[in-house]
């Protein structure tokens, strides 16, 4: 075997070994609110919706870094969410939210919010329809 | 039914052009295929080639026609067309009408199509004997690209989607289309407009450039396949090399233009966030750069004659795969700006595209692999080719790592798993990339001083010693005096940063030195070294600007949030946003920051905030520096009439740093229109007044005038109320509204309870003292903002320009030498 082949194999083996070792630490799971409550204190991704029947608590004048709201998921789970940063401007319009953080008792302490906003779904026919109906009303 | 006022002809022309380009590309593919097969028979070869060229030129004309017709539709606001309706509106400035092209899927494929055609014409002019086989592959790629724009059903399967779709065909079930005059209705008076994030000058430039990079990645593969096909197993590299360099240059600058756009108009606070869309464009660049190096070493030594095919194939495949990831919506929730899918049809379109090209490559490669000449002799460890191969391999390994983590959503889909990158996605990448940067930096610094075949040790040591010492001194100076002290991830990571700084400085110094020592200042052949210097600058710029990036909008209210920790588990106040109330100077870092005003521009939907930065000498109070930043925000009427905020940052550029400011929140101007009035009620001490969310208890009323109170020299008389506000949420607040009178003029001193949005005033009538309560959402104007300091970010941008220049110089040099 040529030296270059040995080097190649060693490098690839090292890369694979590294990934296998670190992967379990780096990866987390998508959870429902119910399963998240079983995993207290573990960093997870939550797929949920904003609970529109409850108030979104955010007052930037008193504290711009405090947002609290309720999230529900399709399986009927519900939790309070606290996020220590500004309110994403499109929160109220979002159709789905991915919350990254930890469950702490009954409160989900969120570190990052990803929104799936209707504005990003211009090509979605359902959304086009809603947009259109809005336009007719205004 | 006869619909009124539609412009159908232009769309029909456009659609005809799309179909024509599809048919022409099939003819071109077939004719070029025949021309290649009949290469030995001059007469037939020429006849086929003539047909093929004609077909290709017709195709080019058709593609240009698609572009022009679509532009006419957008420019003239023909809202009966879905593309114009969805992506443009009348108030859009002309410069952004071009951006409307690439908001939709079809427009991006159109660009790809267009650049393929232009490059095809260049191949026809320059490639000589390579024309027929190379153009066969390129035309085949074009068959796929043109089908993206077809939108025609083949046996119930919709293939592609046409940009010339009419709204009334797309949404035939909408009741409005029973009205022949639907275009006169309000809903069709204007389009939906362009995504505000795309209304940025970088977004006019970035997509066309990045698609030059995308389109040009087909050519190295086309040459490789042509080499296998015509059994010229090594000769193809020479004409393919300029294309590979061209590809690397444009993909690279295109990606970094995207980064510049992210830096200027996205508010994630930087130019790079390891977002899947970014990763997807970075990976093909990494691989094509690796491939360029393998091509070079093969051309000079004959080594790696087989692996060079794989590097080229991988670069093409990774590019299509990346597009597949970002365009079909499989990434779903993981990306902030991933595109939405056209659904299944696009998904399978890409799968077929990847399979066809993979199959083509595999069949030709394995059929010919035993004929590909392989050098028996082994690479010396002291040779340049040995270490170039290692470097190229490191590039590929890093891209495999990135691809794996980017593909997680797809892996989840295939295996039914629920995995996602955890708490700190950026660190998952950065941790590995910093080591890769160290290795690549060191290799890039020393390899040019090695010779092909083998290098005498004394020769090498003699040449490399001076650059090494200089680089060591410079990087030590940066490490010691640069204040790089990024400890968020512990000392190991900080050590890696300093090592990487050395490696990048070493790259810069060694390659600059090589231009004189190795090349004797021959500028024409210095393209490689210049690109290396640029690469070193890019690394250095990234390292310094990221590790010294500083949030200066720390909210110093002193509240530490319990339970909030940084990625390493230490307590983190996390208060990175600061609220500025209009007219109230607020300290932020060394600056005193004031939100002074906001303004709109009649032709612009943006709201510009004037934020004044003042830096005073703390001892003397002398103003050292003062400037205004104008971060802006878009107010978009969204669903249900709610307004939403979309902000663009503004930066103060210094030669050595940027101060980067963006608005993270502001009150809804609809609700802040102050229409509320004061409701006055006569009160005396002990009275209670109710308001919508609580009640107010009057603790005492003080009346004073000049005669009874000598402490009132400025006014004639005064009425003061001491009140306590009990809000329904259990909070209570104290307030002291007052009224002063001087020369029979009332001077009210109102008191505001911001948290409860109420304003209190005192009034005096014949009946006695009255307390007035105004409940108003528009109590005050404020914005919440975030500010970063990016030191030495210009090194990064300069590095990008230098790298691109190096690539292009090298390309030109190779091209003219051919």
**d(C-alpha B278, C-alpha B254), whole Å:** 11
Contact residues on chain B for A27, CB-CB shorter than 8 A: 408, 419-422
Question: Which residue of A lies nearest to B754 if distances are taken between CA atoms?
Answer: A61
List all residues 6 or more positions away from B689 whose beta carbon is below 8 Å from its beta carbon.
B681, B683, B695, B696, B698, B771, B773
In a domain, A44, yes or no: yes
Is the CB of A114 less than 8 angstroms away from the CB of B336? Answer: yes
Residue spans of chain B under pLDDT 50? 337-338, 341, 557-573, 638-642, 672
The answer to whether A40 faces chain B, any CB pair under 8 Å, is no
pLDDT of residue B362: 97
Question: Which residue of A lies nearest to B634 if distances are taken between CA atoms?
Answer: A89
Chain centroid offset of residue A46 CA? 6
CB B594 within 8 A of CB B611: yes
Contact residues on chain B for A131, CB-CB shorter than 8 A: 192, 639
Hey, CA dihedral for B287, B293, B296, B300, is it positive or negative? negative
The answer to whether A92 faces chain B, any CB pair under 8 Å, is yes
Q: Which of B543, B427, B539 is nearest to B484 (CA)?
A: B543
The answer to whether A28 faces chain B, any CB pair under 8 Å, is yes
Number of structural domains found in chain A: 1
Hey, CA dihedral for B578, B541, B426, B648, is it positive or negative? positive
Domain boundaries, chain B: 1-199, 231-421, 443-548+792-818, 578-667+782-791, 672-775
Least Cα separation, residue A34 to chain B (angstroms): 15
In a domain, A21, yes or no: no
Q: Which two tokens stand for residue B286?
A: 């990494």
pLDDT of residue A1: 65
**d(C-alpha B425, C-alpha B406), whole Å:** 10
List all residues 6 or more positions away from A20 whose beta carbon is below 8 Å from its beta carbon.
none
Edge-to-edge strand list for the sheet holding B768-775: B679-682, B768-775, B758-765, B751-753
In a domain, A9, yes or no: no
CB A4 within 8 A of CB A76: no
* Per-window interface: A 41-80 vs B, CB < 8 A: 43, 45, 47, 58-66
In a domain, A20, yes or no: no
The answer to whether A6 faces chain B, any CB pair under 8 Å, is no
pLDDT of residue B94: 84
* pLDDT at A118 > cutoff 70: no
CB B67 within 8 A of CB B110: yes
Contact residues on chain B for A43, CB-CB shorter than 8 A: 422-423
Q: Which of A28, A14, A78, A11 is nearest to A49 (CA)?
A: A78
List all residues 6 or more positions away from B674 whose beta carbon is below 8 Å from its beta carbon.
B776, B778
In a domain, A58, yes or no: yes
Exposed (0-12), middle (13-18) or buried (19+): which is B765, by Cβ within 10 Å?
A: exposed
The pLDDT tens digits for B393-438 are 999 999 999 999 988 888 888 888 878 887 777 888 888 999 999 9
Is the CB of B644 less than 8 angstroms away from the CB of A59? Answer: no
Helices (H), B485-637: 490-517, 527-547
Domain around A66: 29-120
Least Cα separation, residue B599 to chain A (angstroms): 20
**d(C-alpha B314, C-alpha B312), whole Å:** 5
**d(C-alpha B98, C-alpha B96), whole Å:** 5
Q: Which residues of B129-158 are buried (b: 16+ CB within 10 A; e: fewer)?
A: ebbbbbbbbbbbbbbbbbbbbbbbeeeeeb
Least Cα separation, residue B419 to chain A (angstroms): 5
* pLDDT at A115 > cutoff 80: no
DSSP A40-79: TT-EEEEEEEE-TTS--EE-TTT-TT-EEEEEE-TTS-EE
pLDDT of residue A120: 47
Read off the CATH number of the domain in which A69 is found: 2.40.50.140
**Contacts A–B by Cβ distance under 8 A:** 169
**d(C-alpha B456, C-alpha B463), whole Å:** 11
Is the CB of A128 less than 8 angstroms away from the CB of B171? Answer: yes
Partners of residue B648 on adjacent β-strands: B632
Least Cα separation, residue B573 to chain A (angstroms): 9
Chain centroid offset of residue A26 CA? 16
Mean pLDDT of A16-25: 81
| N-terminal to C-terminal alpha carbon distance within chain A | 75
**d(C-alpha B636, C-alpha B647), whole Å:** 11
List all residues 6 or more positions away from B664 whose beta carbon is below 8 Å from its beta carbon.
A64, A85, A86, B267, B577, B647, B784, B785, B786
In a domain, A19, yes or no: no
């Amino acid at each position: 075997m040529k030296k270059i082949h040995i080097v190649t194999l060693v490098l690839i083996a090292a890369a694979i070994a590294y990934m296998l070792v670190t992967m379990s630490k780096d990866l987390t799971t998508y959870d429902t609110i119910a399963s998240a409550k079983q995993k207290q204190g573990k960093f997870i991704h939550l797929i949920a919706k904003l609970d529109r029947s409850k108030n979104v608590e955010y007052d930037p004048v008193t504290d711009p870094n405090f947002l609290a709201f309720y999230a529900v998921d399709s399986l009927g789970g519900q939790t309070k969410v606290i996020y220590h940063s500004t309110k994403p401007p499109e929160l109220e319009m979002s159709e789905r939210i991915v919350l990254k953080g930890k469950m702490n008792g009954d409160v989900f302490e969120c570190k990052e919010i990803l929104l799936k906003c209707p504005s990003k779904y211009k090509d979605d026919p359902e959304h086009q329809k809603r947009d259109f109906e809005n336009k007719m009303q205004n | 039914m006869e619909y009124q006022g539609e412009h159908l002809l232009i769309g029909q022309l456009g659609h005809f052009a799309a179909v024509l380009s599809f048919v022409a590309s099939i003819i071109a593919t077939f004719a070029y295929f025949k021309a290649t097969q009949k290469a030995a028979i001059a007469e037939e070869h020429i006849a086929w080639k003539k047909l093929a060229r004609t077909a290709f030129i017709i195709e080019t004309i058709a593609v240009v026609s698609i572009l022009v017709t679509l532009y006419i539709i957008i420019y003239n606001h023909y809202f009966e067309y879905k593309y114009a309706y969805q992506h443009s509106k009348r108030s859009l400035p002309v410069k952004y009408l071009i951006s409307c092209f690439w908001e939709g899927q079809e427009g991006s494929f159109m660009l790809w199509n267009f650049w393929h055609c232009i490059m095809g014409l260049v191949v026809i002019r320059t490639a000589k004997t390579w024309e027929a086989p190379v153009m066969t592959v390129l035309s085949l790629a074009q068959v796929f690209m043109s089908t993206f724009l077809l939108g025609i059903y083949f046996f119930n399967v919709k293939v592609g989607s046409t940009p010339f779709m009419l709204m009334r065909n797309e949404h035939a079930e909408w009741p409005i289309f029973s009205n022949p005059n639907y275009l006169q209705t309000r809903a069709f008076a204007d389009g939906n407009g362009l995504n505000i994030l795309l209304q940025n000058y970088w977004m006019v430039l970035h997509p066309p450039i990045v698609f030059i990079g995308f389109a040009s990645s087909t050519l190295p593969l086309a040459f490789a396949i042509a080499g296998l096909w015509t059994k010229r197993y090594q000769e193809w590299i020479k004409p393919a090399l300029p294309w590979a360099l061209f590809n690397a240059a444009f993909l690279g600058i295109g990606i970094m233009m995207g980064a510049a756009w992210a830096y200027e108009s996205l508010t994630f606070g930087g130019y790079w966030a390891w977002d899947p869309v970014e990763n997807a464009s970075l990976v093909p660049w990494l691989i094509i750069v690796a491939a360029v190096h393998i091509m070079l070493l093969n051309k000079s030594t004959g080594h790696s004659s087989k692996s060079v095919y794989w590097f080229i194939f991988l670069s093409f495949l990774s590019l299509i795969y990346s597009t597949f990831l970002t365009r079909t919506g499989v990434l779903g929730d993981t990306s902030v700006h991933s595109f939405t899918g056209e659904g299944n049809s696009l998904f399978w379109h890409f799968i077929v595209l990847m399979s066809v090209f993979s199959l083509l490559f595999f069949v030709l490669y394995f059929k010919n692999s035993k004929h590909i000449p392989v050098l028996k002799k082994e690479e010396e460890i002291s040779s340049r080719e040995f270490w170039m191969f290692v470097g190229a391999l490191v590039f590929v390994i890093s891209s495999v790592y990135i691809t794996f983590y980017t593909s997680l959503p797809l892996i989840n889909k295939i295996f039914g798993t629920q995995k996602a990158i955890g708490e700190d996605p950026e660190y998952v990448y950065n941790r590995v990339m910093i080591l890769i940067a160290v290795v690549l930096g060191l290799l890039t610094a020393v390899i040019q001083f090695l010779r092909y075949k083998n290098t005498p040790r004394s020769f090498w040591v003699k040449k490399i010693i001076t650059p090494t010492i200089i680089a060591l001194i410079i990087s030590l100076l940066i490490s010691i005096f640069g204040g790089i002290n990024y400890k968020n991830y512990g000392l190991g990571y900080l050590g890696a940063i300093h090592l990487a700084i050395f490696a990048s400085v070493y790259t810069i110094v060694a390659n600059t030195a090589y231009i004189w020592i190795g090349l004797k200042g021959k500028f024409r052949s210095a393209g490689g070294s210049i690109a290396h210097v640029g690469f070193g600058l890019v690394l250095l710029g990234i390292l310094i600007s990221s590790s010294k990036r500083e949030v200066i909008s720390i909210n110093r209210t002193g509240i530490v949030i319990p339970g909030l920790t940084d990625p390493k588990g230490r307590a983190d106040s996390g208060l990175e946003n600061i609220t500025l109330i209009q007219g109230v100077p607020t300290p932020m870092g060394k600056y005193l920051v004031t939100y002074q005003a906001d303004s709109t521009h009649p032709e612009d939907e943006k709201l510009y905030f004037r934020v004044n930065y003042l830096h005073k000498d703390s001892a003397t109070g002398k103003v050292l520096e003062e400037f205004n930043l104008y971060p802006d925000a878009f107010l978009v009427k969204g669903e249900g009439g709610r307004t939403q905020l979309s902000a663009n940052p503004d930066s103060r550029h210094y030669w050595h740093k940027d101060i980067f400011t963006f608005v993270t929140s502001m009150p809804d101007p609809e609700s802040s229109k102050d229409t509320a009035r004061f409701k006055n009620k006569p009160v005396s001490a002990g009275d209670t007044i109710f308001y919508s969310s609580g009640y107010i208890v009057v603790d005492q009323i003080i009346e004073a005038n000049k005669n009874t109170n000598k402490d009132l020299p400025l006014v004639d008389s005064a009425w003061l109320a001491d009140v306590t506000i009990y809000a329904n949420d259990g909070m209570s607040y104290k307030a002291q509204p007052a009224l002063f009178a001087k020369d029979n003029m009332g001077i009210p001193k109102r008191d505001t309870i911001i948290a409860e949005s109420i304003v209190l005033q005192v009034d005096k009538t014949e009946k006695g003292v009255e307390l007035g309560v105004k409940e108003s959402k528009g109590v005050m104007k404020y914005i919440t903002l975030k500010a970063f300091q990016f030191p030495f970010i210009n090194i990064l941008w300069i590095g990008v320009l230098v790298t691109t220049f190096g690539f292009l110089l090298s390309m030109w040099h190779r091209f003219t030498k051919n």
